[in-house]
Structure 1
Amino acid sequence: MSGPVTLLVNPTAGQGGGVRVAHEVAARLRGRGIEPVLAVPTGPAEAAGQARTAAERGGVLAVVGGDGMVSIAVQALAGSDCALAVVPAGTGNDFARTLGVPLHDPAAAAEVIADGTVGSVDLGRTGDRWFGTVLTSGFDSKVTARAHGMRRPRGRMRYNLAVVRELMALRPLDYTLTLDGREFTTRAVLVAVGNTSSYGGGMRVCPGARPDDGMLSVTVIGPVDRTTLVWVFPRVYKGQHIHHPAVRTHQAREARLAANGITAYADGEFVGPLPLTVRVAPAALRVVLPAR
């Protein structure tokens, strides 16, 4: 890999193991003759500044963390010549999964940085916000909001508890969707717009999404009751939910979502209330991919 390498570390990733993983990756890279710059921010604002500095420096910005830290990096790197590499050390790691980076193996991730090839992937964009994986609205965004507001338990169990609590308050919502200029209304419990297929640690909510086809994949789960959603939702991990008659999928280059009282999240991070418009930005991000 040519050019400088910056390791942007989320020190809280992996329940505090992010710095340990970063030092392991740095040692591996030094053994390959690469001297990385280690950046350990104290918070999101400092992380964003360090990502912008890396974008100006060029080369590779390697994120040691999960999808939240990847999201911060994407805001700085979109449209730049600096390539994003990912050392998965978070809870979900969906962007790393999309790139084919080995999970739970820092040494293998370091080898991707050293030996990988640089390619380009699409991004989603709403307003001035970029995202790499999935934008969510409805039941799933409510679960994310609730999980973010909970201090305990940590890790996956916090998300699982948030799912149970939101199921108790489940109700269909009235959406107006406009896909590439075609407007229609629908009742749904959630609408997801995917640049890639998965979110939430491997839930393939948009299984037809590809990050290099110049399209967004839109999944609409209709007005199902609580029992049906409990039956359908586990099938998201294999993308099999799309075979249920209440689920519809679409493709579009631009999607406008409107519904009252709903907040959208993308890459697991707060975006803002509906209505909003999402567009695909083809080949907007340079990424480091495993060598083939």
Structure 2
Amino acid sequence: MRRIALLTHPGAGRGRGAHARAVVLPRLRRAGFEVLDLVGGSAEEASVLARDAVGSGVESLVACGGDGTVHLALQHVAGTATALGVVPAGTGNDLARELGIPGDPAGAADRVVGGARRTLDLARVGDRWVATVVACGFDALVADRAAAMSWPRGPARYVVATAVELRHLAPRRYTLELDGRVRTVEAVLAAVGNTSSFGGGLRITEGARTDDGLLDVVVVRSLDRRGLVRAFPSLYRGTHTGHPAYEHHRARSVTVAAAGITAYADGEPVGPLPLTVTAVPAAVEVIA
């Protein structure tokens, strides 16, 4: 019998994680898998459960939750023989979207049962593995403010945080070191992508590929509040690449420096700038 682990964050997506687990767990067992049912009450507990499951030699670790759950699981499967599965049950679900995994739990479970795999590059920031995008600009400031807010709950928190940060919008001086080449620019946003989108479908690093061994580095040079608001819808369509303030580079390694910004990766805080992000080719197998 094939052994896999299902790691669930029950509170993800305002309870969608628990609902997804109730659908996925019996479906996987009916398909003949021996499923380790891992439910983490905290990030620390979930990390221990995931580490022990991968150490026991499970065939795959299936993350059932949002991008934070996927990011946690990734830390334990990257560089191992254990594949990563994803059942999207959060708000953003950015990696699932990139991989074309269905948003409904039954459809996502069927992908796990099917077992088709592909190999992905990852990004590395210090000792952290990153699947999607490292946010280093206005987007990171919004995430930082939202994390400090107790009200409102859910996606509305990000709307409020965005409105507050827009009032304080100002360009910052960024220094980028791209494979040894140094670029200094005044910008409101900088992002380093392994995949093309973050934040629930904002296609900031449009054109990024997960198998080319390169990172896609995007800078949006100085814009005022009105300009940023007007450009925002184009980020969902990926048509912002023609904007005169848009700048795009590719590199194997990039160091991003700017004052007063905590970077976020896969939606999780990874530390203050400056940070170095490095591409790691073929670092993980995913079920997709």
Once the two structures are superposed, the pairs formed by residues 216-227 of structure 1 within 5 Å of their partners are 216-227=215-226
Matches within 5 A, 1:54-203: 54-56=53-55, 57-103=57-103, 105-203=104-202
CA contact (8 A) 2:95 2:132 kept: yes
Cα distance in 2 for residues equivalent to 1:174 and 1:158 = 28
Give the 3-state SS of the residue equivalent to 1:36 in structure 2.
Answer: strand
Identity %: 51
Q: Aligned partner of 2:185: which letter?
A: T
Shift, 1:66, TM fit:
0.8
Distance 1:249 1:233 in 2: 17
**CA distance in 2 between partners of 1:200 and 1:190 (Å):** 14
Alpha-carbon distance in 2 for matches of 1:218, 1:197 = 11
1:275 counterpart residue number: 274
CA shift for structure 1 position 35: 3.1
The residue type equivalent to 2:284 in the other structure is L
Preserved contact between residue 2 and residue 34 of structure 2 (Cα < 8 Å): no
Q: 1:151-195 CA distances to partner (integer Å, 9 max, x unpaired)? A: 222222211211111101000000111111100110000100000
Residue 239 of structure 1 and its aligned partner are, at CA, apart by 1.0
Amino acid at match of 2:51: R
Q: How much does 1:146 deviate?
A: 1.0
Task: Determine if contact 2:16/2:90 at 8 Å carries over to the other structure.
Answer: no
Task: Name the CA distance, whole Å, in 1 between partners of 2:275 and 2:25.
Answer: 40
**2:48 paired residue number:** 49
Of the structure 1 ranges 183-192 and 21-30, higher mean CA displacement relative to structure 2 is found in: 21-30
Q: Which amino acid aligns with 2:2?
A: G
RMSD: 1.1
CA distance in 2, matches of 1:226, 1:181: 33
Partner of 2:14: 15
Distance (Å, rounded) in 2 between the aligned partners of 1:110 and 1:155:
25
Q: What SS does the aligned partner of 1:124 have? A: strand
Note if 1:254 corresponds to 2:253.
Answer: yes
Q: TM-score, normalised by structure 2?
A: 0.97
Give 1:260 deviation, angstroms.
1.3
Distance 1:23 1:35, change over 3 A: farther
Question: Which amino acid letter does the alignment assign opposite residue 68 of structure 1?
Answer: G
The alignment of Structure 1 onto Structure 2 pairs a total of residues equal to: 287
Structure 2: where are the runs of 5+ without partners? none
- Shift, 1:19, TM fit: 1.9
Which secondary structure does the structure 2 equivalent of 1:213 belong to?
Answer: coil
- Unaligned residue ranges in structure 1 (runs of 5+): none
What amino acid sits opposite 1:193 in the alignment?
A: V
Match of 2:285 in 1: 286
- Deviation, structure 1 residue 81: 0.5
Contact map agreement 1:3 1:60 (CA 8 A) in 2: no
